[in-house]
A and B are shown apart, each in its own frame.
Chain A
């Protein structure tokens, strides 16, 4: 398998071509923008939190296959989760994307401290070999983190 096939797995291309949960959520849903300064990509994450649960999540903006697929998969796994669960998933995903962590621990997820099953998201592991693209993969996730922080800040 060429390294390109490793990066552009079929599941990633599928999410890119048919992104899930695309669109907007009206207020009071929270809206948060994220930018990738390198390539000008922009993502907008809409989150509706009810009773500490991600009731709904939508993605707007535009970006490359990696950022769009990552965002799409993120919405699928995050939707319906509690904030605590969401934070655990974010942590597990970022750990997978961390080039130094993955070098230290080999590529095996079993070394990971968290036992979270990332499902389709595991397909994004190939991105780690392309350090420049890690920012693409993590853009939606960083924006979601910021979103949750902002919502919790508002509540306090």
Chain B
């Protein structure tokens, strides 16, 4: 293993927890990641030493609080290699970031007769906001299908994007782990004049993210999946696009001036940040990015390839025909997310039995019901890994799955 996982585990207080004398085996990081102590320290530090409202006070405390918020923005900017801090907008989560795009760019640019293109891999957060707007505006939603290995089927890609205004897709699937070819899709879509959004909620925590190299127009992700706290997400957008968009929520902070007659909007990024922001969460996110950057995103990615390869091999050799693993077979083409079904045991029951061993995995539709329909399953079990997992976690999972098999398959 390229990472010293034993040492990394020590940085995560919750991973020290024993329940009923058994250690915690956390394999649900695609759902939410655990947090290192440094993230919690940064958040506590903010409230203990610096709490004041930002951009409003003229005293030192308020200046320090503002510096924490804006410092976190600079952290995010460099983490995703954005051109400018003006392009980094804090939201509540990735879902809100996507709703922001649909409600501002979408509302301004999409109308009856238009089309947008999504993929069958999408999380509900990149489906429902568009369906809500489509119901109102009457534009068409087209879908890029997936093939049997969980890759996008691009055979009719040109046809699908022809005449469409937006291409919006997950850079990594939260169910299958598939990495989608962001650069290739974006280049072609740009040739045909589409605006491109990548939902990077699963991608950014696990892979070096360079928005300029990816070439997209919008990128969204959430803090809590990349070791940060819940309650903060990021919308990145090209400055000229963000500039052209109307504001999202109205209120304090997002205005330059307000009169009885109307208002003018603040400059970027604050134009999209109405109300008192989540400063402690921003401090936590900044600390999370520092933690990840210290270890190195490429190192993390390599670790996950090794571990995913180990897990895929182990699950296949131990359970053979009785396990169906969805998505790409090659660990190099996927993130550390493995969805599967098990003959004779429902995902919900699998989680329940594993829980008895303190093994946390997700069961269900993973907020991707259209994908479940395509896979022709009601639900799957999903194991997802991060930098604090190693082979011992996978071995515990395999032992737990043997217990499942013994219980349900007589």
Count of chain A to chain B residue pairs whose CB atoms are closer than 8 Å in the complex: 53
CA distance in complex: A38, B369 (Å): 12
A40 interface residue, CB < 8 Å from B? yes
B364 pairs with A63, CB closer than 8 A: no
Which residue on A lies nearest to B350, using beta carbons? A64
Chain B window 357-400, contacts with chain A (Cβ cutoff 8 Å), 1 for yes, 0 for no: 00000011100010010000011000000000000000000000
**Which of chain A's residues have a CB closer than 8 A to the CB of B348?**
39, 41, 63-66, 133, 136
Known: A64-B346, A65-B349. A40 touches B378 (CB 8 A): yes
The number of chain A residues with a CB under 8 A from chain B is 22
**Which of chain A's residues have a CB closer than 8 A to the CB of B365?**
39-40
**Which of chain A's residues have a CB closer than 8 A to the CB of B372?**
40
**Which of chain B's residues have a CB closer than 8 A to the CB of A130?**
352
Chain A window 20-44, contacts with chain B (Cβ cutoff 8 Å), 1 for yes, 0 for no: 0000000000000000001111100
Q: Which of A7, A38, A62 is close to B352, meaning CB atoms less than 8 Å apart?
A: A7
B353 interface residue, CB < 8 Å from A? yes
B353 pairs with A4, CB closer than 8 A: yes
A3 interface residue, CB < 8 Å from B? yes
Q: Output the least CB separation between B127 and chain A (Å).
A: 15
Q: Output the least CB separation between A16 and chain B (Å).
A: 8
B408 interface residue, CB < 8 Å from A? yes
Known: A40-B372, A42-B378. A65 touches B356 (CB 8 A): no
Q: Output the least CB separation between B349 and chain A (Å).
A: 5
B379 pairs with A39, CB closer than 8 A: yes
A13 interface residue, CB < 8 Å from B? yes
The number of chain B residues with a CB under 8 A from chain A is 19
B407 interface residue, CB < 8 Å from A? yes
**Which of chain B's residues have a CB closer than 8 A to the CB of A2?**
356
Chain B contacts with A in 92-106, Cβ cutoff 8 A: none
Known: A39-B379, A40-B378, A40-B379. A8 touches B346 (CB 8 A): no
A63 pairs with B356, CB closer than 8 A: no
Q: Output the least CB separation between A28 and chain B (Å).
A: 28
**Which of chain B's residues have a CB closer than 8 A to the CB of A133?**
348, 352
A41 pairs with B408, CB closer than 8 A: no
B369 pairs with A63, CB closer than 8 A: no
CA distance in complex: A41, B353 (Å): 18
Known: A63-B346, A64-B346. A39 touches B352 (CB 8 A): no
Which residue on B lies nearest to A2, using beta carbons? B356
CA distance in complex: A8, B355 (Å): 14
Residue of A17, A41, A64, A130 with highest tally of chain B CB at under 10 A: A64
B233 interface residue, CB < 8 Å from A? no
List 16 additional A-B contacts (Cβ < 8 Å) besides A39-B365, A41-B379.
Answer: A3-B356, A4-B352, A7-B352, A13-B408, A16-B408, A38-B364, A40-B365, A40-B372, A40-B379, A63-B348, A64-B346, A64-B347, A65-B348, A65-B349, A65-B408, A66-B349
Q: List 17 A-B contacts (CB under 8 A).
A: A7-B352, A13-B407, A17-B344, A39-B348, A39-B365, A39-B379, A40-B364, A40-B365, A40-B372, A40-B378, A40-B379, A41-B348, A41-B378, A65-B346, A65-B349, A66-B349, A133-B348
The chain B residues found within 8 Å of chain A, CB to CB, are 344-349, 352-353, 356, 363-365, 369, 372, 378-379, 407-408, 410
The chain A residues found within 8 Å of chain B, CB to CB, are 2-4, 7-8, 13, 16-17, 38-42, 62-66, 68, 130, 133, 136
Closest 9 CB pairs of A and B: A40-B365, A64-B348, A64-B346, A39-B364, A40-B379, A62-B378, A65-B349, A40-B378, A39-B348
